[in-house]
């Protein structure tokens, strides 16, 4: 079983966080799962470190399809009771956490141990960073359904350092 920090989730954890935590605990012994670590005063829901594979940041959203009114690659409009609220798009939010973590790693005293010192991958991390959003409770949430319902535009993230198109490697200027 994976090492989890903390051992148990706090009582304020959502149903989705509890569900994902139970799943992540079953990862191999080498895995380390952090719940809401602090990264530049931000709190991603989970950071999973798998020494053989890399680092994965996960944002959990317990949204129901019926409460999502629309949005684009930057923000999501949600129904909260009788009013409409705006929230950061979960993929953009978790990618921001990922970039902040990568920058923190680059600024760490042991940074030289984390990157390739020579060769074709010089300056790149020795392991990948990934970002994902998890919608555990909300069945049927997918981009095609949102687009058919006219709730989301097709605009893609375009800010520097975001992994779009898929496969692009983040490499900040050194």
On average, the pLDDT of the chain sits at: 82
Q: Which DSSP category does 160 fall into?
A: T
- Confidence tier at 132 by pLDDT (50, 70, 90): very high
> Can you tell me the mean pLDDT for 95-106?
94
pLDDT tops 60 at residue 19: yes
Q: What are phi and psi of 52, to 5 degrees?
A: -80, -20
> Can you tell me the mean pLDDT for 117-131?
92
Q: How far apart are CA 95 and CA 97, in angstroms?
A: 5
- Which tops the pLDDT comparison, 145 or 87? 87
Q: Residues 61, 94: contact at Cβ < 8 Å?
A: no
What are 87's two structure tokens?
Answer: 């929230």
Beta bridge partners of 4: 33
pLDDT tops 60 at residue 172: no
């Amino acid at each position: 079983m994976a090492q989890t920090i903390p051992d148990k989730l706090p009582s304020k954890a959502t149903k989705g966080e509890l569900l994902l935590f139970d799943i992540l605990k079953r990862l191999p012994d080498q895995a380390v799962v952090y719940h809401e670590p602090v990264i530049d005063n931000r709190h991603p829901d989970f950071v999973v470190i798998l020494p053989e594979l890399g680092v994965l940041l996960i944002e959990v959203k317990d949204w129901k399809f019926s409460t999502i009114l629309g949005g684009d690659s930057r923000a999501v409009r949600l129904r909260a009771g009788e009013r409409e609220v705006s929230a950061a798009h979960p993929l953009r939010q978790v990618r921001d956490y990922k970039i902040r973590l990568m920058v923190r790693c680059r600024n760490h005293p042991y940074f030289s141990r984390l990157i390739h010192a020579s060769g074709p991958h010089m300056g790149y991390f020795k392991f990948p960073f990934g970002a994902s959003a998890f919608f555990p409770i909300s069945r049927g949430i997918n981009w095609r359904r949102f687009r058919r319902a006219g709730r989301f535009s097709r605009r893609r993230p375009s800010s520097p350092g975001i992994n779009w198109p898929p496969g692009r490697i983040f490499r900040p200027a050194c």
